[in-house]
Amino acid sequence: MLDEAFVEQLRERLAGLEQKLAQPEVVANRKAFLKLIGEHTTLKKRLEHADAFLKLRCEVQEQKALLADEQADSDLREIAAEEIGELETRLGDAERDLKIALLPPDPTEERSAIVEIRAGTGGEEAGLFAGDLFRMYSRHAETRGWKTKMIHSSASSLGGFKEVVFSVAGENVYRALQYESGVHRVQRVPVTESSGRIHTSAATVAVFPEADESDEIELDPEELRIDIFCSSGPGGQSVNTTYSAVRVTHLPTGLVAQSQDERSQHRNKERALSVLRARLLDHRRREQNERLGNARRSLIGSGDRSEKIRTYNFPQNRVTDHRVNITLYSLDRIMAGELAELLNGLYNHDIETRIRRELSSTDADADV
């Protein structure tokens, strides 16, 4: 149970960090400074939630004491009885917020993201579905005030995508979209089907947090192979006559990133390198999770992007997420970008799972 001593420890640690941040030698060391800034932000958030929880708990105790006091004014006791219910609801919310704040922080959740969509089984219909998913995410980004930018695309002949890679920039983008990685399955009558039969096709989505300088992703030029080629459109025709598209291969891992949407070869190279850094960060995180055995297997930790995570059934206007058994009969609105209910459900389920795991780990440590 949270007590004043714990909160006092948070205050002391926060004061100590603020003293360090005021030291010139720390400010001069950018790496150390950024690390301390991150710790300060996390600690300050925890303290704010702890203070809010303790204040509400004190108010609940005071009102309960007043209600139990038979010598107190009857009107005051009646008011106390009315307030206790509301205060206990707020206290429960504050306790959950505090538990979330006490979870080990993941700084990548606040970052922008790179999203990759590939057509899977289903031929041209899979390509059309990949295009539908791209538009779905783009519309959702627009409603959130996020900015999307095309990095690379390979169009199919009917107007879909064999592959499309784009960035989504904004606050907490990766936190919202990280659960989208996996196989998305669609059930509908394809435009290429004359008999009206329902077909099943699929597209694979991968979401990576953008890498920043704190990740220390160093790209050794000796370990990169850079290929320059002409951008291409539907059917493989050339989009422009200049060799501006760039493909970068990281030789030690075999990871590949490319960009062709800019007319400038230099800008395409910058974008390709940005995607490669994101892929290398994702590769490193997955290796660490497997090595430490702490992958978040409830939703995003399996590391298996071949896992079927969601089905989009057009005849029934239904979307089912198979990881958390969420079924919504609002496919038309979801494809129009209204993803909030779905994404919030996934986030809340993951948070609850992480809280239970953290509490179990704490209980196990206490028993040792």
Residue 125 C-beta-side C-alpha neighbours within 13 Å: 17
Convert the pLDDT of each residue in 17-58 to its tens digit: 999 898 988 888 888 888 888 889 889 988 999 999 999 999
Report the pLDDT value the prediction gives residue 235, as an integer from 0 to 100.
Answer: 41
CA distance 314 to 335: 10
CA distance 188 to 343: 23
What's the mean per-residue pLDDT of the chain?
86
Convert the pLDDT of each residue in 141-160 to its tens digit: 999 999 999 999 999 888 89
CA distance 35 to 19: 14
Mean pLDDT over residues 242-265, rounded? Answer: 89
Q: Is 225 exposed, middle or buried (0-12, 13-18, 19+ CB in 10 A)?
A: exposed
**H-run or E-run covering 275:** helix 265-292
Q: 């970008």: which residue's tokens?
A: 337
Quote the pTM value: 0.79
Burial 268-302 (b: 16+ CB within 10 A, else e): bbebbbbbbbbbbbbeebeeebeeeeebeebbbeb
Report the pLDDT value the prediction gives residue 9, as an integer from 0 to 100.
Answer: 85
> Structure tokens of 105?
């922080």
pLDDT at residue 99 tops 50: yes
Full strand arrangement of the beta sheet holding 161-169: 147-155, 161-169, 113-119, 199-209, 182-188, 308-313, 318-321, 326-328
The candidate with the shortest Cα–Cα distance to 3, out of 122, 72, 98, 144, is 98
Position 297 confidence tier, pLDDT thresholds 50, 70, 90: very low
